[in-house]
């Protein structure tokens, strides 16, 4: 199956695209885009991969579902398009970055600037029906993104995996912490941020690890 995705990822993931589950997933997603309002726009489904080629990945941040409101989702977890109000979780992420590193809270919630520095902003599910959280879960996306995480964990070294909340933590259980840095905390959503997200210092910890392993730190 020919999937339009960044070339280095295409090389790595081609075997996955031939599997029956992915063929079924593709059929489901095409049907949804043809009959429903679905986010992100179809051309941005694989935007996280376009912005961060395989061999440039040095940090993985794992989300769950794309945002399901108009104009928000553009294929990068936790990120929103320029000019869109910050969702609560993103606002809390910026607050922690400011407290942890001193970096000012940005005017834009578009995290492409992180992706271009080697941060793979991966949602577990890459599409969602408008205003219906979780509507594209258990259709095959989770199997696909598991294979992405396995690829990064197996073929690259000294990657920082940032896992927020029980779902992300469970999805990354197999990552070898002797080969990579695995950072875990509660989710940045308002429901949990005050129970261990604020003050986790994971952004400075990420950069310390990257520098120790000869990689450039992320300008958060």
Catalytic residue among 2, 55, 65, 176: 65
DSSP 40: S
133: which 2 tokens?
Answer: 């959280």
CA–CA separation, 202 and 32 (whole Å): 37
**Residue 65: active-site member:** yes
- Say what angle helices 141-155 and 20-35 make with each other, to 10 degrees: 130
Give the Cα separation of 45 and 164 in Å (integer): 22
Mention every residue, 6+ apart, whose C-beta is less than 8 A from residue 99. 198, 199
Q: Chain centroid to CA 184: how far?
A: 15
Angstrom CA distances, 90 to 64, 80, 148, 176, stand at 14, 9, 24, 28
The Cα-based distances of 57 to 20, 85, 109, 169 in angstroms read 28, 28, 21, 19
- State the catalytic residues: 65
């Amino acid at each position: 199956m020919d999937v339009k995705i960044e070339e280095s990822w295409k090389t790595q993931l081609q075997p996955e695209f031939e599997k029956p589950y992915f063929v079924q997933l593709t059929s489901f997603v095409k049907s949804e885009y043809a009959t429903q309002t679905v986010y992100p726009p179809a051309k941005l489904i694989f935007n996280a991969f376009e912005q961060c080629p395989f061999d440039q990945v040095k940090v993985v941040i794992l989300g769950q579902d794309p945002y399901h409101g108009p104009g928000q989702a553009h294929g990068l977890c936790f990120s929103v398009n320029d000019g869109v109000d910050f969702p609560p979780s993103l606002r809390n992420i910026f607050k922690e970055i400011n407290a942890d590193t001193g970096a000012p809270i940005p005017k834009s919630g578009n995290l492409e600037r992180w992706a271009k520095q080697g941060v793979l902003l991966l949602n577990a599910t890459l599409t969602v029906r408008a205003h219906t959280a979780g509507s594209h879960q258990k259709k095959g996306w989770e199997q696909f993104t598991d294979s992405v995480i396995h690829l990064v964990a197996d073929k690259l070294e000294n990657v920082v995996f940032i896992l927020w909340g029980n779902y992300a933590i469970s999805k990354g259980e197999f990552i070898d912490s002797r080969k990579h840095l695995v950072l875990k905390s509660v989710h940045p959503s308002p429901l949990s941020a005050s129970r261990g997200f604020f003050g986790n210092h994971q952004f400075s910890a990420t950069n310390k690890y990257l520098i120790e392993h000869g990689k450039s730190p992320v300008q958060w």
